[in-house]
Amino acid sequence: EKCGYASFMLKEIAEQPKAVADTLLGRIDGSGTLSLDEVRIPPGVLREVDKVVVVACGTAFHAGLIAKYAIEHWTRIPCEVELASEFRYRDPILDQQTLVVAISQSGETMDTLMALRHAREQGARVLAICNTNGSTIPRESDAVLYTHAGPEVAVASTKAFLTQLVACYLVALYLGQVRGTKYGDEIGDVVRDLSGISGAVERVLGTMDPVRELARSLAHKNTVLFLGRHVGHPVALEGALKLKELAYMHAEGFAAGELKHGPIALIEEDLPVVVVVPSPRGRSVLHDKIVSNIQEIRARGARTIVIAEEGDEAVVPYADHLVRIPATPTLLQPLVATVPLQVFACELATARGNEVDQPRNLAKSVTVE
């Protein structure tokens, strides 16, 4: 079943271009219009939504953090993202105009299920983004958008994450379309960009040999830090989570702007720091700021591993290792930027002799609170 791959994780990483394409399939027509048949919440109800709350755990939570940027930008509806395990204990403010989006690969995560039950009790509508047909979370939701990643066997989530992102973008664009927001004009362009993403992920996968080599050379390290800004921040968190669970290493993700508020004290000679660099086109302020962050940490001895767009020359002088990703619109960059981090964690874990499909202490679906 591993189809010649050494692990399910490697197979699932390699399946990502198809998973992404399958999740888009049939949901966009030639004119760039979205039709999400499974979202059986009437357009009239969606037009009244005044707040979106995303609840999820782990990797799915990271997808939710990225969804916030897309939802707020394309719909101008305020969006909160909360760890499902914390959600109901703080007495959240919810009513009929709240749309709760519950993201779960397995559809069986108890924390996420309890969060959505709580939301429905308060009158909120719940839309599930899920990879498992007929599982509990979609059954208990008002609507479901299935991710078409296919079965994910490795405990650490990879292809499900990319498809969760795609589903989140589709939900954001759909809400924008239904509500006719002023960003409506962008929808057609984004839909076109999304159609090209599967090919971009494929290209990234074809260039991973140096990343694997780098990962092997770092197998003896104790700590790796990850930095990002904007949607690159959740990508950094996801890179760190993959490394913790697979390589059992101390790994932390930070918003690069927070460095000087504390974490920069951690930088020491030869500490590997992975930096996810936003596109120099579009929001160039962000790009310039992260370039100065890279300079700052490098001046303090960090070994910089820089993930940057093809053609971004400004980072070159400060990168000890440079990983190129295809140019992508800012909001969609996580779809390509996450892939090298998955490969990195998987290879590093293997070099440390760990079993990547079945990391210690973890279960594929967490059905207890």
Write out the catalytic residue numbers: 364
358 binds ligand F6R (CB under 6 A): no
Indicate whether 338 belongs to the interface with ligand F6R (CB under 6 A). no
Give the torsion sign (CA, 184, 186, 189, 192).
negative
Are 241 and 59 a contacting pair, CB within 8 Å? yes
Task: Compute the distance between CA of residue 65 and CA of residue 69 in angstroms, rounded to an integer.
Answer: 7
Question: Who's near 116: CB < 8 A, 6+ residues apart?
Answer: 55, 100, 102, 126, 128, 137, 140, 141
Minimum distance, C-beta of residue 223 to ligand F6R, in the bound complex (Å): 20
The span of 58-66, 169-177, 191-199, 331-339 binding ligand F6R (CB under 6 A) equals 58-66
d(CA 211, CA 321): 9
Binding of ligand F6R at residue 136 (CB under 6 A)? no
265 vs 363, beta carbon nearer ligand F6R:
363
Rg (CA), the chain: 20
The torsion defined by the Cα of 159, 162, 166 and 168, in degrees rounded to 10, comes to 110
For residue 22, what is the DSSP state?
Answer: H
Using CB under 6 A as the binding rule, whether residue 16 contacts ligand F6R is answered as no
Letters for 240-259 (x = contact with ligand F6R by CB under 6 A, - = none) are -x---x--------------
Beta-carbon contacts of 201 under 8 Å, excluding residues fewer than 6 positions away, are 16, 17, 20, 162, 335, 336, 339
How many residues of this chain interact with ligand F6R, rule: CB under 6 A?
Answer: 15
Site residues for ligand F6R, 214-243, by CB under 6 A, read: 241
Give the binding range for ligand F6R (CB under 6 A) out of 18-26, 87-95, 98-106, 227-235: 98-106
Based on CB atoms, which residue is closest to ligand F6R, 92 or 359? Answer: 359
Nearer to ligand F6R, 85 or 330 (CB): 85
- If binding is defined by CB under 6 A, does position 105 make contact with ligand F6R? yes
Mark the segment that binds ligand F6R (CB under 6 A) among 33-41, 53-61, 193-201, 205-213.
Answer: 53-61
Please select the residue that binds ligand F6R; options are 75, 106, 147, 350, rule is CB under 6 A: 106
112 scored as a contact of ligand F6R (CB under 6 A)? yes
* 276 vs 132: CA distance, rounded Å: 31
Examine residue 60 and tell whether it contacts ligand F6R (CB under 6 A).
yes
Q: Is position 156 an interface residue for ligand F6R (rule: CB under 6 A)?
A: yes
Tokens of 343: 């490969």
Q: Which residue number, 58 or 280, has a Cβ lying nearer to ligand F6R? A: 58
Q: Largest alpha-carbon pair distance within the chain?
A: 58
Could you say whether residue 141 binds ligand F6R (CB under 6 A)? Answer: no
Closest C-alpha among 150, 139, 166 to residue 11: 150
Q: Does 201 interact with ligand F6R (rule: CB under 6 A)?
A: no
- Please pick, from the candidates 14, 110, 322, 366, the single residue that binds ligand F6R as defined by CB under 6 A: 366
DSSP of 155-171:
SS-SHHHHHHHHHHHHH
Among 104, 136, 141, 198, binds ligand F6R (CB under 6 A): 104
Beta bridge partners of 223: 250
Alpha carbon distance, N-terminus to C-terminus of the chain: 32
Q: Are 201 and 163 in contact (CB under 8 A)?
A: no
Interface ranges with ligand F6R (CB under 6 A): 57-60, 104-106, 109, 112, 156-157, 241, 245, 365-366
